[in-house]
Structures are given as C-alpha cells and as structure tokens.
Structure 1
Amino acid sequence: MKKLNDIKISGVSLPLYLGFVLTLIVVIAMGKLPLNMVGITFMLVVLGHLFYYIGEKLPFWNTYLGGGSVFTLIAAAVLAATGLVPKDVVSATSSFMSDWGFLDFYIAALICGSILGMNRNLLVKASTKFIPVALISMVVGFFATGAMGALLGQGFGHSVMYISFAQMAGGMGAGIVPLSKIYAAGLHTDAAGILSQLAPATTLGNIFAISCTTTRST
C-alpha cells in the first residue's frame, strides 16, 4: 500500500486518484454526471491528468510518439468515437469548450501568463529569431501544400484552404472553429461540414508537431 501511495498523478496518490476515476465512471454510467461547468470540468481534469500520466510512462510512446500530450488527444478521441462516453456528455463537452467560451478563456490566460511571466529581454531576443523563421515556414508550407494537392488532384486552392490554413490556425477552439465560420459565411454553407474537413489536418498536424518536438528534445 505504501508503494501505491508513493505513485502520484498530478500530486494525488494513486489509490485516491483511482477513487476519483471510479466515481466518474459510475456517475457517467448512471447518467448522473451534471452536464454543466462543474461536471464537465471534473471529467476533463480527471481523465486528462490520467491519460497524460499514462502517456508519459509508456515506453517508446513517451520518447518518440509525443508522450502524454498526444496520448491524451488520441485517448479522448477513442472514448468519443467508440461510444464509451455517451453522446450527450460528448456534446456537452464540445459546447463547454467552444460555445461557452472556456477554450478561448484558457488560451488567452495561457498566452498572457506565458508572456507576462517571461523575461522581457529574453522575449525580445527570441522574437527577432522566431518571427522570420515562422513567416518563412508559413510561406513555404502554403505553396508546398498547394502544390502537393494539385499533384494529387485535390486542387491548389482546396488544399490551401482546408489543410494549409487549418495548420496555420494552430488549434481547434481558437483556430479552425472561427475559421470554419468564416468559410461558411463566404461560401454560404454549413460551418459544421467545413469544420469536419478542417479538423483532421489540424489534429494530425498537432500530433506530428508534438511528436517531432518530443523526439528532438530527447
């Protein structure tokens, strides 16, 4: 028992954390999970930290496949796609992250906290080196994606709009969600259908980026 107590997930001992997980499973199975900020936050925090811990401990995965971040993304997608998490919970989670604006708040808080917490001189030096590289990478990626799409028969414009711009948007809630609404307004179509086309490129791009960064750092 002492060895189990020494194992901690985000500072919580393993037996206590497993109690949280078991409680969450029972509540979801009984259909009693509150579909509000309290219930959804509890589920995201418990499962998110658990998946991240598992991904960081898995051999090979934690070194070459992105570790906890990528494992969390994939595990969450599997739970939603296989129906292990009820559709009403998945829908409420999507609304919580996007419609309720939690993801926008989180991203703004994360960016502001990161910038304000950095040394000013270090931030200025890093910006002068990062911005030119970022701009060049975006230009090269733009034309390379369009050219490859044209070669594969998808068309230059389609590939740029649904793959290149999706990658540059950088994420889901603050990236392709508003981008899909912009496309929908201009093309006079449904934003949900456009979002379903933008999401794969963004998700795979983020996974590859995390995996490559993790591999490089090791």
Structure 2
Amino acid sequence: MQINSVPDGDHPKNIFQKFMALNVGIVPMPLYLLLLVAYVLLTVTNQMPNDMIGAIGIMTLFSFILEEVGKHIPILNSLGGKVLVVTFLPSYLVYMNWLPKSTTKVVSSFMTNNNFLAVFIALLIVGSIASMNRKTLIQASMRIIVVLLICEVVGPLVGMGVGMLMGLSAYKSYFFIVAPIMAGGVGEGALPLSLGYAAIISMGQQNIFAQILPCVMLGSLVAVIEAGVLKKIGDVKPNLTGNGRLVETDDGNDELGSLSSKSDTADITKMLVSGILAITLYMLGVWVNSIIHLPAPIVLLIVVMAGKMLGWIPDSIQEGGKSLYSLTVKGISPLLLFGVGVAMTPWKSLITVFTNVPMLITIFITVTAIVAAAFFSAKFLGMYPVDTAIAVSCCSGQGGTGALAILAAGDRMNLMPFAQVAVRLGGAITVTMSIFLMRFFA
C-alpha cells in the first residue's frame, strides 16, 4: 500500500488517520472501505447485481488488494508476484469454493458474455502503437518475426529432446506437450489443435483437449514467472533492456517526446477519440474475420501498424493514445487479471501437470528454451534482449490472457502489439504444422 503525500505540518497524528491516508492500489482507503461495505451487504443479502457494475465493483475490490499482497511477498515480488497472486490465487479460491458463489457467478458471466479481454487488447494495441516511435515500430516489427521463427524451431527441438530424456516418446513430447504450449492459447490454439488431432487419430476430441489443456495452463504460468525474472535482469543490467522498447531509436524517445517529459494530465477528448478508433477498427476486424477468418485483434493490429508506419495517424490520436494506454494499464489490467483467474484459469488443470514430473520438467525446459532463444537472438539482431524475450515468450502463453499476465509480470504492457504477433503468428504456425505432421506420425 502507498501512503499519500501530506504537506509538512499536516502529517496524520494517530494510527487511524495514517491508516485512512493509505491507498489500496490506486484507490484511497476511505473509498475502498466503502466499496468493501457495499460488497459485504450485497453478498450477505444475496442481492449482488449480475451486470457490469456488479462485476467491475467485485473485480476492483479484489484485484487491487491482491496486487498489494503480491507486491509485499519477499522474493515472489521480484518474479511477477502481484500478477501471480491476482491471477492464480482467485483460481485456487474458486477451486476450493472459498469465494462466494455470487461473486464467482457475476465475474464469470461478465468475462464470458462481454468479451472484456478483447476490449482491453483493442485499447492497449491502439494506445501503445499510436504513441510508439514510427522508426522503432518498422525496425522492431521485421526483427521480431525473425526472432519468433528462431523460437519456433528451438522450442520444439529442445522440448522433444528433454521429453525423450525424461522417458516420453518424441510423439508424445511434441504433439501433446510442446505444440499445445506454442499453439497460441485455448480458443485459437488448443481447441483447433484437438479438433485436428481427433480427425486423424482414433481418440475423441474431448479426451485430447483434456490432455493438452494442462500443458497450455502451466506453460503460461512458467512464462509469467520467467517474465518476472527477465524484468529483474533488466533492473540489474540496464544495458540489456529498453524499458518497453525493442530497438534503440536515434533519440531514445517516443515520436511525440518522452512519456516522462509530458504532463500526466489526459486530454479527455483525444483519449476518447483514440478509444473510439480502437472500437471501430475492432468491429471492422470482426467483419473481416467473417470473410477470411483472420482474428479481429490481428486485423486491428495490422491496420494500426500500417497506419503508423505510413504516417497516417494524426498527432491528436497519437497524443490521445498515450493517455489511453496509461488508463488501460493502470485502471483495467488489474481488474482483468482477477477476472481471468476466476473465469478462465481452471486450477484443476494446473495441478494435473504438477503430479506428472516428466511432463512438468518438459514444459519448464521448453518455455525456458524459447525465452533463451529470444534473448540471445535479440542481442544478435541489435534488439534489447529483455524486452524481446518477454514479448516473444507470449507465444508460450495462454493466448490473449497469457499475454496479459506475462507482460504485466514483466512490466512491459506497451509490448502488447508484439505479443499479439508472437501469439497469433506463432500459434498459427504451430497449429498448422502440428496437424500437418500428425498425418505422417499418427
């Protein structure tokens, strides 16, 4: 918790005043306590509204306090502790039935029916790309694809090798452990992978999906922890990180000036226009997806990146993008991480892998190999190793939800556009190649 600054001579005089001067995340203590009282009253009387207001209230209440807990756990706080606590502790609480049923129901309904994650990704992509240096974007986009392709080779080779050393077959290691990890999440990775496998081998799709889902979940958890480790490496070795940049620009600043040199005061109109642009492009992306089956976030990403590279994005939207990015990271990401933990992270799937040591080791080494390959190839290509490794490690995460947790753990949320490239492009390559190869080895 953070203590608000108080002018000299006006310091709180007693413990109660000091306590009330604290913040829980960004929420002042008096307001947080009022929210807590509202939550308790509605929960006890079974009147919690199953709508957006109820869900956001619950997610605000839990997410910021869990972040504070994660930030104050020794050692873990240096390894993305706040993200681990906000995301995975709620999953455990749901598994143990220790969260009120009304809380679980309201949050799960909101996350499932409102596609809140898509809204977050759309706003974050537009906000981060709009405020990014144009030259940096062009250079980084080309190089990160090279790094991703290297990882697409290194990951499977190392994963199969370790799996075989642990007594697993090459077939089992690749198709049921490595490929699911690198498939790009659940909905656009593990699910189509299981459908493709089921069409080739004599095993039901549900059985296949149940086997590969734990690998996806644990791979994402390992990537989150390693993103925290990478952040720590960047703190100790500043020459290895661009603090959110993949390549060094000529002046070292954003195109509109350093973020720190600008006032934090948001121009509401410009920020809203940037947000409307994100929503509009995402809606168009949904239509494009219905025609050529290209995911809406990728359509949004391509259009915004192209507009930025060609210099078509007005300065007003670029300035608004900075405020939009700040709002999304500070105000939305903690809430979303809690929602992901409650509704999209089945604890049972995670613990399934923990009982299988060969599989556990294979998953850990595979993700580590991907991170290491990205780290060292980035250095060779003139990129910042820490930031590149964090972005590319998202290819071994739980899709969009995994990318969110990984970037939050590494404190590199502005790398979401590049994380989406790693998730979507890397996932598409893995799913396509795996189903193709299955026909020859089944």
Matched residues in 1 for 2:53 and 2:173: separation? 40
Which structure 2 segments of 5+ residues have no match? 1-15, 199-203, 236-442
Give the one of 174, 178, 186 matched to 1:176.
186
Correspondence 1:38-77 to 2 at 5 A:
38-63=53-78, 65-77=79-91
Deviates more, 1:49-58 or 1:24-33: 24-33
Matched residues in 2 for 1:144 and 1:38: separation? 47
Alpha-carbon distance, 1:70 to partner: 1.8
1:185 aligns with 2:195: yes
CA-based RMSD: 2.9
User: Deviations along 1:113-147, whole A, 9 cap, x unmatched?
Assistant: 22222111122233344332232123211221122
Alpha-carbon distance, 1:91 to partner: 5.1
Matched residues in 2 for 1:184 and 1:35: separation? 33
1:23 maps to which residue? 38
Alpha-carbon distance, 1:83 to partner: 1.0
Return closer, same or farther for 1:131/1:155 CA change in 2, 3 Å cut-off. Answer: same
Alpha-carbon distance, 1:74 to partner: 2.5
Query: Normalising by structure 1, what TM-score?
Result: 0.79
1:144 maps to which residue? 158
8 Å CA contact retained: 2:159, 2:173:
yes
Correspondence 1:97-136 to 2 at 5 A:
97-136=111-150
Return closer, same or farther for 1:214/1:163 CA change in 2, 3 Å cut-off. Answer: farther
Matched residues in 2 for 1:209 and 1:161: separation? 24
8 Å CA contact retained: 1:52, 1:68:
yes
8 Å CA contact retained: 2:159, 2:174:
yes
Bigger radius of gyration = 2
- Higher helix proportion, which one? 1
Matched residues in 1 for 2:48 and 2:177: separation? 36
1:206 maps to which residue? 223
User: Deviations along 1:155-198, whole A, 9 cap, x unmatched?
Assistant: 3343334443343345xxxx223323213432152286357434
8 Å CA contact retained: 1:4, 1:13:
no
Letter in 2 for 1:122: T
Alpha-carbon distance, 1:102 to partner: 2.0
Matched residues in 1 for 2:209 and 2:54: separation? 25
8 Å CA contact retained: 1:149, 1:156:
yes
Residue 99 of structure 2: SS of its match in structure 1?
coil
2:17 maps to which residue? 2
Residue 143 of structure 1: SS of its match in structure 2?
helix
User: Deviations along 1:57-81, whole A, 9 cap, x unmatched?
Assistant: 3333222x31311221232222212
- Over 6 Å off, 4+ runs: none
8 Å CA contact retained: 2:70, 2:85:
yes
Letter in 1 for 2:162: M
Greater relative CO (CA pairs within 8 A, separation 6+): 2
8 Å CA contact retained: 2:176, 2:212:
no
